[in-house]
A and B are shown apart, each in its own frame.
Chain A
Amino acid sequence: MQEQIDFGRWAGPMENEAVARWRTDGGRVAGYFCTHAPEELLWAAGLLPLRMRATGSPDTTGADPYLGSNNCSFVRHALARVLDGDLAFLEALVVTNSCDHVRRIFDVCSAKAAVPHCYFLDVPHVRSDSARARLVAQLRDLRCKLESDFEVTLDDAKLTSTLKLYNRTRALLLRASALRGEDPPRASGSELLTMTVASASMPKDRFNELLEPHLEQLEARAVRAGAERRPRLLFVGGMLDDPGYLEVFESLGADIVDDQLCCGAKTFSRQTDEDTDPIEAIARRMLEHVPCPRMVDDYPARLSNVLDAIDRHRVDGVVCQRLKFCDLWGGEIEMLRSSLMRESQVRLLVLERDYLTASGIGQLRTRAQAFLESLA
């Protein structure tokens, strides 16, 4: 029997063993915010794209002169890590206009020259044809900048092969996700989150090589014995990259059978079209793959995603979590709460948290326990 792979090795602090190896081999690294970023362009330019996280961050002191206490704690920790020099290995940073907090990271990092090359993408807030054309123009511009800043050629052939690589990752993760949706599940929600976070923290080709045999093991895994049905939960919300948060619910006897988290299912929610102009295809996916509250014209689609997931996976309870001071997710969760009250019998738990979850785990356990009891 082959040894199980622990993807947690790559889902911790950003500078993991795979990143160290990449750098030892002479590779260059780029950070990016957020699920809307055109990761494929970076990979095709020969950079290792890493989703910006701040796991293990000791404090926000370095960022405090530049951000207010009413800025989201993820952004404060992430900026502190950059300004403190902990991520000095980053040669580029791509920041999208995901939210007001994140976009100021670009402003501060470029003003302080904290990363050699900072790029900003003003991702539109609607999905019209003209909005997509505006995004395409920005992506073409980014392609030119990457070519000149890193002295590479970023042709369509390279891009198309990158799309294939990324689509492979998405297909594999989708397969893994199906296992957690089974009844009873063959994979846990925290395992899935660990995988998706790892997938954004290491080279995709290596990740795919590791995930493929791991999936086979999972698919062969015996399902849980016993007739007792555990509550099945759907997790929804913004930035959450700590599988330990999900483990709290699992340790109390719940199954997390699906998610709509930025670092979770949203990373593999849609393939990029391989048969069209690659930049057009990337733009289309950026605008359409992630139903996110920053987009002002797709609440109905977001709600129907949640309702579909509830239906498909026979969900008993929805857990909506958000970071304090996040306007977008604060409003979104409120809308979901009222929609679900009208359109579904399913119960809802709303949680507000700080980015680093460890300090709030005791309280979380109490809330989770009470919620699970209410589902019984």
Chain B
Amino acid sequence: MSGPAMRHMRTKVEEQFVPMLDGLRAEALPHGRLLAGGVQLLIDHYRETFRVMDERSRKICWYEFSLTPEIFLAMGVHPFLGESHPATMALGTPEVCWEYVDVAEESGVPTELCVLDKFLLGALLRRELPEADFIVTASAPCDSSRIGYQMFERLVDAPVFRLDAPADDSPQAHAYYAAEIRKLIGFLEEQTGNRFDADRLREVCEESNRATEAVLEIFELRRARPCPHPGAVSNSLYQAMLNSLGTPAFTRYAEFLRDDAEEAVRAGRGAVANERHRVLWYYTPITFDFEMNAWLEQEFDSVVLTDLLASSLRQDPIDTTSVDTMLCGLARRGLEGTMGRVRVSADKLIQRFLLDYEYFGADCVVFPGPVGCKHVWGWIGLLREVCRERGIPMCVFDVDWMDSRVRPVESIRKSLEQFFSVTMAAR
């Protein structure tokens, strides 16, 4: 295949995202005002990726969940989180997911691997991933990514740095992972020729803290009845954070959402006019059903307060006193603030679930269990028991959160319809 890498994505950005942004800004699409900033960040991130790739003006790092961008920004590296790419590529065009999954499976990749890893492998084979100067993996969150990255490495001629992510979330585990990040700095110095500068890291962490402070306030405001913003907003925030946390542009977006939520709460304005149900959407959003949140709002007066991934954004600031404290903060943020979060024990996951349920004042749970996500299926049973004991209504179904052929939109909506019109209506 000749020509520049990521041809499809370059076209998609200009021909789909840019008009979409115009539509959002013009409020031609639901909640446009609130979502436009997220799409703008996405466009900027991809345009910058293409520019850096074409000009080779900086090094590009393909990194994995369980890390956030700050350390790369501080080292003058362009960060590209592999796992955020599939959802963006398939946004509004689910057939793109089918194509890459098929390419991967035809090349011999087992069907039962997580869709993220199959998609990434297909995209890699089709040159739809950035030509990274190096790869950084975290050996988390799951078997699929652990073996997935070993497969990717063989197709990419680039050095790889592997961190060891512990399965625990204790302060000791964070300290261990902080030491891993310290080793990563050595690797980045070697690869880039840039010296680590503690003051530069502090600057980035402070920027990142400004954003996460606003994010904390946003979530605090989402506890209000009615909830001021729709579920799509927390998705958008999460997606934008993955590659842009630590940049002033992301901070501005978070602060804009915070100010807007504040005003909405003051005015008693909710995402849903007559909010009836407050839903904890516990796991991934369904990427091929763009209208899911709006449909729940319209049909059942239900607002999605947060999903599991977005809720992980509620993080204390990074202590910028010293390099050690910053690395510890980055370790915690990477491990607990991305999908890396699900690497812990079922017991820990349940504790967090209960905290989230209570914090947001939810009255039901929707749990879409991804078929490729094996550890989640070893957790759902225990979670179900806890919910039953506490009288928490729960709607569980299996799904592939990106490949609509596994369970199409209609089938997902049918399960939800049944849940809201029978279980929730009876309450």
A110 interfacial contact with B, CB 8 Å: yes
Nearest chain B CB to A291's CB is how many angstroms away?
12
Residue from B108, B345, B384, B385 in contact with A338 in the complex, judged by beta carbons closer than 8 Å? B108
A327 interfacial contact with B, CB 8 Å: yes
Nearest chain A CB to B35's CB is how many angstroms away?
33
B219 interfacial contact with A, CB 8 Å: no
A248 interfacial contact with B, CB 8 Å: no
Band of interface residues on B: 35 or more
Of B149, B167, B183, B378, most A-chain CB atoms within 10 Å: B378
A56-100 to B contact mask, C-beta < 8 Å, 1/0: 000000000111101110000000000000000000000001011
A-B contacts counted at CB < 8 A amount to: 140
A330 interfacial contact with B, CB 8 Å: yes
Nearest B residue to A120 by beta-carbon distance? Answer: B345
Q: Would A107 and B347 count as touching, CB distance under 8 A?
A: yes
Q: Would A296 and B144 count as touching, CB distance under 8 A?
A: no
In B106-158, the 8 Å CB interface with A consists of 108-110, 112-114, 137, 139, 142-144, 146-151, 153-154
Of B114, B150, B346, most A-chain CB atoms within 10 Å: B150
Please give, as numbers and ranges, the residues of chain A lying within 8 Å of B166 by CB-CB distance: 122, 124, 134
Known contacts A66-B381, A71-B378, A130-B180; A110 and B347 CB within 8 A of each other? yes
Q: Would A130 and B179 count as touching, CB distance under 8 A?
A: yes
A294 interfacial contact with B, CB 8 Å: yes
Q: Would B164 and A101 count as touching, CB distance under 8 A?
A: no
B371 interfacial contact with A, CB 8 Å: yes
Please give, as numbers and ranges, the residues of chain A lying within 8 Å of B381 by CB-CB distance: 65-67, 108
In the complex, A332 Cα to B150 Cα: how many Å? 9
Q: Would A294 and B176 count as touching, CB distance under 8 A?
A: no
Q: Would B139 and A101 count as touching, CB distance under 8 A?
A: no
Residue from A68, A122, A294, A331 in contact with B378 in the complex, judged by beta carbons closer than 8 Å? A68
Please give, as numbers and ranges, the residues of chain B lying within 8 Å of A100 by CB-CB distance: 142-143, 374-375, 378
Nearest chain B CB to A112's CB is how many angstroms away?
9
Please give, as numbers and ranges, the residues of chain B lying within 8 Å of A126 by CB-CB distance: 139, 162-164
In the complex, A130 Cα to B166 Cα: how many Å? 12
B379 interfacial contact with A, CB 8 Å: yes
Please give, as numbers and ranges, the residues of chain B lying within 8 Å of A324 by CB-CB distance: 112
Q: Would A299 and B150 count as touching, CB distance under 8 A?
A: yes
Q: Would A107 and B147 count as touching, CB distance under 8 A?
A: no
B333-366 to A contact mask, C-beta < 8 Å, 1/0: 0000000000001110000000000000000000
In B371-423, the 8 Å CB interface with A consists of 371-372, 374-375, 377-382, 384-385, 398
A125 interfacial contact with B, CB 8 Å: yes
Known contacts A111-B346, A130-B180, A131-B164; A327 and B144 CB within 8 A of each other? yes
Nearest B residue to A302 by beta-carbon distance? Answer: B150
Q: Would B146 and A130 count as touching, CB distance under 8 A?
A: no
Q: Would B347 and A331 count as touching, CB distance under 8 A?
A: no
A112-139 to B contact mask, C-beta < 8 Å, 1/0: 0000000010101110101100100000
A284 interfacial contact with B, CB 8 Å: no
Nearest B residue to A350 by beta-carbon distance? Answer: B108
A291-309 to B contact mask, C-beta < 8 Å, 1/0: 0011011010000000000
Known contacts A130-B176, A134-B166, A328-B143; A67 and B377 CB within 8 A of each other? yes
Q: Would B382 and A111 count as touching, CB distance under 8 A?
A: yes
In the complex, A60 Cα to B377 Cα: how many Å? 15
Please give, as numbers and ranges, the residues of chain A lying within 8 Å of B44 by CB-CB distance: none
In the complex, A337 Cα to B382 Cα: how many Å? 38
Residue from B151, B163, B165, B369 in contact with A68 in the complex, judged by beta carbons closer than 8 Å? B369
Nearest chain B CB to A341's CB is how many angstroms away?
10
In the complex, A67 Cα to B379 Cα: how many Å? 7
A334 interfacial contact with B, CB 8 Å: yes
Please give, as numbers and ranges, the residues of chain A lying within 8 Å of B382 by CB-CB distance: 66, 107-108, 111
Of A106, A110, A296, most B-chain CB atoms within 10 Å: A296
Q: Would B179 and A296 count as touching, CB distance under 8 A?
A: no
Nearest A residue to B147 by beta-carbon distance? Answer: A331
Q: Would A335 and B142 count as touching, CB distance under 8 A?
A: no
B168 interfacial contact with A, CB 8 Å: yes
Q: Would A327 and B110 count as touching, CB distance under 8 A?
A: yes
Known contacts A111-B346, A126-B164; A330 and B379 CB within 8 A of each other? no
A168 interfacial contact with B, CB 8 Å: no
Please give, as numbers and ranges, the residues of chain A lying within 8 Å of B180 by CB-CB distance: 130
A325 interfacial contact with B, CB 8 Å: yes
Please give, as numbers and ranges, the residues of chain A lying within 8 Å of B113 by CB-CB distance: 327, 330-331
Nearest chain A CB to B83's CB is how many angstroms away?
16
Please give, as numbers and ranges, the residues of chain A lying within 8 Å of B380 by CB-CB distance: 68
Nearest B residue to A79 by beta-carbon distance? Answer: B378
Please give, as numbers and ranges, the residues of chain B lying within 8 Å of A353 by CB-CB distance: none
In B266-303, the 8 Å CB interface with A consists of none
Cross-chain pairs A/B with CB under 8 angstroms, 9 sampled? A97-B167, A100-B375, A103-B378, A125-B162, A125-B165, A296-B149, A299-B150, A325-B374, A335-B154
Q: When A and B form their complex, which 4 residue pairs have the shortest distance between CB atoms, in order from nearest?
A: A104-B378, A68-B377, A331-B147, A330-B110
Contacts beyond the supplied A67-B381, A332-B147: 16 A-B pairs with Cβ under 8 Å: A66-B381, A68-B374, A68-B378, A70-B374, A70-B377, A71-B378, A100-B143, A100-B375, A107-B379, A108-B346, A108-B382, A124-B166, A130-B179, A325-B112, A328-B147, A330-B147
